[in-house]
Amino acid sequence: MSRQYLVAGNWKMFGNMASNQVLVEGMCAGLDAVPKVQVLVCPPATYLTAIQQAARGSGLLLGAQNLAAQEKEGAFTGEILGSMLKDVGCSHVIVGHSERRALFGDTDAVVAQKVHAALAAGLVPILCVGETLAEREADATEAVIARQIDAVLAVNPVASLAALVIAYEPVWAIGTGKTASPEQAQNVHAFIRARIAAVDAKLGDSLRILYGGSVKPDNAASIFAQTDVDGGLIGGASLKAADFLAICAAAQSQG
C-alpha cells in the first residue's frame, strides 16, 4: 500500500521566541511545494501555543517531544498531560526518544504507558526505537528493537494502534553525523514492519516507519527511497528552514 510520507522536526531543547518565529515563517513559506508530505514540528513545550498561532492555516502540524505517563490530572509537578498537549493544538507526540530513555528514566514499561496515554488523549504517538553502537556490534539490533516494540504491544491492544507511527533511530546515528546506510535502515524497517504484521497484517501494511539519525538534505532522498521508509524524524537539520524544507522535498519527490 502507498503510505503518506511524514517528515517530523524534533527541535529538542533549542530555540527561543524570536528564533522560532523566523524558523516557522521560513517553513510555512515552503509548504506549498511539498503538498504530498505531512510536515510536523515538535518544539519545546513552552513554545507550542506561539507556534500554533504562527503556523495557523499553513497546514504545518504541531507535536510535543514527550508527555506524562499519567492519563488524568493530578499532583505531578513538572509533567504535562496528553490532553493538555492536545488542548494547545498538538496532533502528535514523540514517545521514547533515546535521549529520554538514556537520560530521564523512560524504560520500556514507561514508554509503553506513554504510548497508551498518548492514544487515550487522541494524539498520534511517534514511538522511537533503536539500538546503541554496542548493541549493533554485539549483533543485538533486532533483539533490542523487538523488546522495545513488544513492550508497547503488551499494554496496548493492537486494535488501538491504527494511528501509531514508529521512528527507527539508531542511537549511534543521532547527532553524530553518522547515518545508517539506506540498506541498514531498510533492513531494520522491514524487521519492524514484519514484527507488527505478525500481530496484525493490516497494521503492518499501513504502519508508517520514519528513519531518524543525522538525516540531512544530501542523504534524505536515498533513505526515503527505501521500500519500508515512510519519512524522517529530523533533529539538527530541522532547526534550519531551508534544510528542513529540502528534506521535505526529498520526501515529496518519492514515487
97 is catalytic: yes
Asked whether position 66 contacts ligand PGA by CB under 6 A, the answer is no
CA-to-CA separations, 126 to 13, 208, 239, in angstroms, rounded: 18, 9, 19
Rank residues 81 and 209 by Cβ distance to ligand PGA and give the closer one: 209
Q: Which residues contact 35 (CB under 8 A, 6 or more apart)?
A: 252
233 binds ligand PGA (CB under 6 A): yes
Taking alpha carbons only, the member of 200, 110, 131 closest to residue 164 is: 200
Judge contact between 217 and 246, C-beta under 8 A.
yes
Q: List binders of ligand PGA among 207-226 (CB under 6 A).
A: 212-215
Contact at 8 Å (CB) between 206 and 1? yes
Residue 235 as a binder of ligand PGA (CB under 6 A): the answer is: yes
The residue from 106, 131, 169, 228 that contacts ligand PGA (CB under 6 A) is 169
- Report yes or no: 49 and 88 within 8 Å, Cβ to Cβ: yes
157 binds ligand PGA per the rule CB under 6 A: no
Give the number of C-alpha atoms closer than 13 A to the C-alpha of residue 48, restricted to the C-beta side. Answer: 21
Q: Binding to ligand PGA by residue 63, rule CB under 6 A?
A: no
Q: What are the φ and ψ backbone dihedral angles of 136, each rounded to 5 degrees?
A: -65, -45
Using rule CB under 6 A, residue 186 touches ligand PGA: no
Residue 10 touching ligand PGA (CB under 6 A): yes
Q: Which is nearer to ligand PGA, 42 or 207 (CB)?
A: 42
Residues identified as active-site: 97, 169
Chain positions contacting ligand PGA, by CB under 6 A = 10, 169, 174-175, 212-215, 233-237
